Amino acid sequence: MSYLVLARKYRPQSFADLIGQEHVSQTLANAIATGRVHHAFLFTGARGVGKTSAARILAKALNCEQGLSSEPCNVCSSCLEIAAGQGQDVFEIDGASNTGVDDVRDLRENIRYLPARSRTKIFIIDEVHMLSINAFNALLKTLEEPPAHAKFIFATTEPHKIPITILSRCQRFDFRKIALPRIAARLRQIVDLEAIAVSDRALGLIARRGEGSMRDALSTLDQVIAFCGEAVADEDVQTLLGMVDRRLLLDTTEGVLARDSRRALEAVRRVDDLGHSFRSFTQELVEVFRALVLLKVGAEPGELLVTTPEEEQEFRTLAAEVSLEDLQRMLTLLMRGEVELATSSYPRLTLEMTLVRLANLPPAREVAALVRKLEDLERRLVSGGVPEAVAKPPTVVHPGGAPPKKGEAPPPPASGQGDWQGLVAHIRNGRPLIASLLEHGSLLALELPRLEIGFPAASFHLEHIKEAAAQATLKELAEAYFGQPVNIKVVAVEGGAGGRPPSLLEERRVQESDRQRRLREDALAHPMIKAAQEIFGGEVLEIRPIDKGFV
């Protein structure tokens, strides 16, 4: 007697057996119960998730000899024939082998005739996206106005390849990938029925290999049973499937989280000794850290987490030891290392350095503390809690008067006192335009009552300050500031800044440049900045002072 593979032997026979597709089962069952059955269905989804099985179950429900029901009896001749793929009025067509317009024309000719013995004639076309454009066009009219006795069920893994004119005439059902715990639970039921001794851990590995496909998982289970017999050892499953030992992945993760570089390097040695691909190992390690992030973000990650209950408990223990910020940074570095492994000439060294970097990654709380300090400093600056700049023009206090308030020009000094900076500040309070002109001039002499100011020859500032109105205003303000008559002389100065005293504007630029240089040196030398560069792998492009009192 020929052997029947597990995927066929345990194929779903009712809507209740469709694991992980309850949204499809309930909708179809309700449609049958209420008599609202559409004439064309489109089942889409990954391979091995139950599309063809659902099509056969729907066909049985529509043609069951016990009557139209959402639950076929599975004992009448009609149900048994359809389950075996031999129903006289249920036509299963392979879209990949019948792609031409002539095949569709034959199908249209067949549709015209009433069912031979069943209630409904059903056409199941698998991989329907393989039909040619002409074949789809030939099918279009039939889908638009089908005979009452005909139903169409299309199945495909690539719905985007189907013309929109066909899609618009079908009820579409998207089949989901099946969660790993549900696949593992179904595998446990099957191995118990088959009297196969296998651990939950081994079933978890088999279910993970299925990648959301029940059929692929059952095919893998068939392979394992053929290799191991009725007693399946965990090591045999791991060897047969070429998968990295989950214990090795957990040991590596524990070493990284414990900041133990030696333990992390020992894990790389074990990976090399076992002959695993460094890149595959890194990819599985990425999945482990992803699981930790998911558990840290939400207490119940649900189907987002592809693990067995035992693994989930181990992951929860690990996740409790590390912050979410650290996990995110580690995951970023791991993904970057996985990309580097694809082109690295030294894959073992690349993996070793990635794990060492992870094990020595500074905790995120140090960076967070630095950010908090900067934010606190900024708040103090805004509220005026930081002292004024030290490097500013000296304040001259008027005899008998109060010192100037912040932002005000200094008051006129006593007779014979005062300086060039104070004069310009005093003039800015009343005539800011003249003060801006004076900032571009150089003080050549200040020996009261003589005041001599030099400007570059033929400059804009020289021409404007020599105007009669400007001269009169300047003289008035200067005499008010110094408290005595002032003889002002404005002259043209040849040559660059090296041939004359610097102007106030040039002095300020030099101070700002020196300040910026020292600010950059101090910032780059700060250990927190160095740590941030190491963590994020970036460079400092700009340093913007927030403390105007820095000198």
- Measured distance CA(351)–CA(386) in Å, rounded: 48
Comparing CA positions, the residue from 512, 534, 532 lying closest to residue 523 is 532
One fold for 246-361 and 420-502: no
Angle formed by the axes of helices 364-382 and 324-341, nearest 10°: 120
Tell me how far apart the terminal alpha carbons of the chain are, to the nearest angstrom.
93
Residue 153 is predicted with a pLDDT of 93
Residue 171 is predicted with a pLDDT of 92
- Measured distance CA(330)–CA(316) in Å, rounded: 17
> For the segment 349-360, what is each residue's pLDDT rounded down to a tens digit?
999 999 999 998
pLDDT band at 536 (very low <50, low <70, confident <90, very high): low
User: Mean pLDDT for the chain?
Assistant: 82
Range with the lowest mean pLDDT among 151-165, 426-440, 533-547? 533-547
Contact 91, 23 (CB under 8 A): no
- Measured distance CA(350)–CA(194) in Å, rounded: 46
- Name the phi and psi angles at 92, rounded to 5: -100, 115
Residue 316 is predicted with a pLDDT of 85
Report CA torsion sign: 12, 17, 19, 24: positive
Q: What percent of the chain has pLDDT over 90?
A: 25
- Measured distance CA(144)–CA(159) in Å, rounded: 19
Half-sphere exposure of 520 (CA within 13 A, CB side): 11
CB neighbours of 299 closer than 8 A, spacing ≥ 6? none
- Give domain 420-502's CATH architecture: 2-Layer Sandwich (3.30)
Q: Report, as an integer, the average pLDDT of 525-530.
A: 73
Residue 415 is predicted with a pLDDT of 66
Is the model's pLDDT at 242 over the cut of 90? no
Classify 481 as helix, strand or coil.
Answer: helix
Residue 306 is predicted with a pLDDT of 67
CATH number of 180-241: 1.10.8.60
Half-sphere exposure of 24 (CA within 13 A, CB side): 29
> For the segment 159-198, what is each residue's pLDDT rounded down to a tens digit?
999 999 999 999 999 999 998 888 999 999 999 999 999 9
Q: Where are the alpha helices (DSSP H) in 101-233?
A: 101-111, 133-144, 164-167, 180-193, 200-210, 214-228
Tokens 């692929």 locate to: 216
**What is the fold of 246-361?**
Zinc Finger, Delta Prime; domain 3 (1.20.272)
Residue 97 is predicted with a pLDDT of 77
Q: Which residue has the higher pLDDT, 116 or 368?
A: 116
Query: Which range in 207-221, 299-313, 392-406 is most confidently predicted, on average pLDDT?
Result: 207-221
Domain boundaries, the chain: 6-174, 180-241, 246-361, 420-502
> For the segment 411-442, what is each residue's pLDDT rounded down to a tens digit?
555 565 678 888 888 888 888 888 888 888 88
Q: Is the CATH number 3.40.50.300 carried by domain 6-174? A: yes
The amino acid sitting at 438 is L
Contact 332, 501 (CB under 8 A): no
Contact 548, 519 (CB under 8 A): no
The amino acid sitting at 47 is R
Is the model's pLDDT at 404 over the cut of 70? no
How would DSSP label each residue in 409-447? PPPP-STT---HHHHHHHHHHH-HHHHHHHTTSEEEEEE
> For the segment 443-485, what is each residue's pLDDT rounded down to a tens digit?
888 888 899 998 888 888 888 888 888 888 888 888 888 888 9
> For the segment 22-31, what is each residue's pLDDT rounded down to a tens digit?
999 999 999 9
**What pTM was computed for the model?**
0.58
